[in-house]
Amino acid sequence: MTQEIAGRILLVDDEPAFRRMAGAWLEGFGHHVDLAADPESATARFAAAEPEVVILDLVMPPRLVPEAGLDLLPRFAAVPVIVLTAHAEHELALRAVEAGAWDFLPKPVEPELLRFAVERAIRVARLRRELAEWRTGAAGSGDLGLIGRSPALTRLRETIRRLGPTSLPLIILGPTGTGKELVAQALHRSGPRRGGPFVPVHCGALPAELLESELFGHLKGAFTGAHRDRPGLVEAAHRGTLFLDEIGEMPPAMQVKLLRFLNDGTFLPVGAREPRRAELRVIAATHRDLEAMVAAGEFREDLYFRLKGFILRTPALAERREDVAILAATFLRRAAPGIRLATDATPWLAAREWPGNVRELRALVETAAALAGPEGMVDAALLRFAAGEGEEMDAASSATPAAPGRLEEAIAALEARMLREVLMETGGNQSEAARRLGISRPGLIKKMARLGLR
């Protein structure tokens, strides 16, 4: 069975009964469905709804001939199109595939076959979109995978383009949540080792003895539990880039061993006698003040200068407020393609301080998307509620009933809390939420309406 995913579907068919039936099936599977009955309305709905997948009947008015549907295919070329044909129209279906259709289904359509085809098509649509974003950004010719157009981010991109092709060691400094690993990935992709691996290591996640094994590997029998030889991350990053995240948290004993590797390119796996070599670029990052740590004796001065080929600084989100709305819209589109930001959300987002930076913004937007449901709108009231800055939202979008004073109110409050938690866990997928709650999807929708949940 395929994993259930929700998407935006445009269903184009001239038969009212089939539109209602297939539309109900698709909504029951968790999708947002737009309906059209003829070529003109189909074109208008396609432009307005921005569907991820189109389901198209090939025989439609005003001419009840195959060409009516075939003529529409070029208008929907940006997304996968599933065409519907009668059993006797196999040749027509092949013509449609040759003309650009992604798949075809015979009428009468079986619900599970429709579900399977649509979910495959949605996955293809999203992979195409991710590939396009990667080609224009992550490949190094566009925005380097860094979202925004503020002056601070523009300067950072220009620095990455100049430093990427070099082999200089680098330190990336910046507050937590500002995308230091994204910057390191952009440097890797724009450099001569982009064909090699990019290997991240969080230096503060492990104690010194385990970090040594993680970085340099170990031989079988080197310590209790070492049942086989295990290569380390330094070896895994050979001819690529080793990203040492939170280098300021590295224990002093490991600083010495890392310096030895940086000086001559050799390392000794735990339990080994013969050194090994690895050729790679090292990029380090931290939110701490390394110069102050050096002055306080908390970080080795020789290691600092060995890492400090060049220092980049990632700006805090408060320094690039022009990018807040762009980032929020991007995170919302990735979390829930059917949901949009309301007009009043943008000034509310831009006015916040964002001490957690981009990571905080992303978490808030994804929480709001889960609360909004697959067909909702993220407005300022919902964002305030998701941020925990109010007990309830406005009357039109309240997700928290009034404080219970009677049994009925207490039950309503409990139901609302359970529904919110399950919807958050399922990413707003109503079908999956209904399954977990042991009720039907229509029953869930009725409860949501009664409780004022989006």
Which CATH number do you get for residue 242? 3.40.50.300
Domain boundary pick from 92, 108, 135: 135
Domain boundary pick from 107, 135, 163: 135
CA-closest candidate to residue 82, choices 108, 54, 58: 54
378 forms beta bridges with 341
Encode pLDDT of 49-77 as tens digits: 788 999 988 776 554 444 556 777 777 87
For residue 40, what pLDDT band results from cuts at 50, 70 and 90?
confident
Domain span at 188 = 151-315
Residue 251 lies in a domain: yes
pLDDT value, residue 10:
92
What number is the average pLDDT over the span 414-418? 73
Residue 128 lies in a domain: yes
- Let me know if 291 is exposed, middle or buried by CB neighbors in 10 A (0-12, 13-18, 19+): middle
Decide the pairing of beta strands 81-86 and 266-267: unpaired
Cα–Cα dist 420/414, whole Å: 10
Place of tokens 């109110």: 409
Q: Which of 16-30, 75-89, 339-353 has the lowest mean pLDDT?
A: 75-89
pLDDT value, residue 266:
93
Residue 17 lies in a domain: yes
Residue 113 lies in a domain: yes
Q: How many domains does the chain have?
A: 3
Q: Are residues 307 and 323 in the same domain?
A: no
Q: Are residues 233 and 361 in the same domain?
A: no
Q: Are residues 177 and 232 in the same domain?
A: yes
| Average pLDDT, rounded, for the chain | 82
- CB within 8 A of 253, min separation 6: which ones? 208, 212
In the chain, pLDDT over 70 holds for what percent of residues? 85
Q: For 200-247, what is the HEC assignment? A: EEECCCCCHHHHHHHHHCECCCCCCCCCCCECCHHHHCCCCEEEEECH
Residue 430 lies in a domain: yes
Domain boundary pick from 315, 350, 384: 315
- Helices within 36-167 (DSSP H only): 39-49, 67-70, 90-98, 111-133, 151-163
What number is the average pLDDT over the span 404-418? 61
What is the per-residue DSSP string for 267-332?
Answer: E--BT-SS-EE---EEEEEESS-HHHHHHTTSS-HHHHHHH-SEEEEPPPGGG-GGGHHHHHHHHH
Cα–Cα dist 350/434, whole Å: 35
For residue 446, what pLDDT band results from cuts at 50, 70 and 90?
confident
Which CATH number belongs to the domain containing residue 421 in this structure?
1.10.8.60
Q: Are residues 193 and 243 in the same domain?
A: yes
Residue 142 lies in a domain: no
Q: Are residues 48 and 158 in the same domain?
A: no
pLDDT value, residue 66:
47
Q: Are residues 63 and 189 in the same domain?
A: no
Q: Are residues 270 and 127 in the same domain?
A: no
Q: Are residues 298 and 199 in the same domain?
A: yes
Q: Are residues 258 and 348 in the same domain?
A: no
Cα–Cα dist 137/125, whole Å: 18
Q: Are residues 277 and 174 in the same domain?
A: yes
Residue 144 lies in a domain: no
Q: What is the CA radius of gyration of the chain?
A: 27
What number is the average pLDDT over the span 185-214? 87
For residue 392, what pLDDT band results from cuts at 50, 70 and 90?
very low
Q: Judge whether 143 and 183 are in contact, CB under 8 Å.
A: no
Does the structure show a pLDDT above 80 at 198?
A: yes
- Helices within 373-429 (DSSP H only): 380-386, 407-425
Q: Are residues 274 and 181 in the same domain?
A: yes
More confident residue, 403 or 198: 198
Encode pLDDT of 308-360 as tens digits: 989 999 999 999 999 999 999 999 888 887 788 888 898 999 889 999 999 99
Q: Are residues 226 and 116 in the same domain?
A: no
Angle at the Cα of 85 from the Cα atoms of 83 and 86, rounded to 5 degrees = 165
CA-closest candidate to residue 312, choices 179, 134, 202: 179
CA-closest candidate to residue 316, choices 175, 146, 151: 175
pLDDT value, residue 302:
95
Which CATH number belongs to the domain containing residue 34 in this structure?
3.40.50.2300
Q: Is the peptide bond before 39 cis (omega within 30 degrees of 0)?
A: no
pLDDT value, residue 131:
63
Encode pLDDT of 331-344 as tens digits: 988 888 778 888 88
Residue 281 lies in a domain: yes
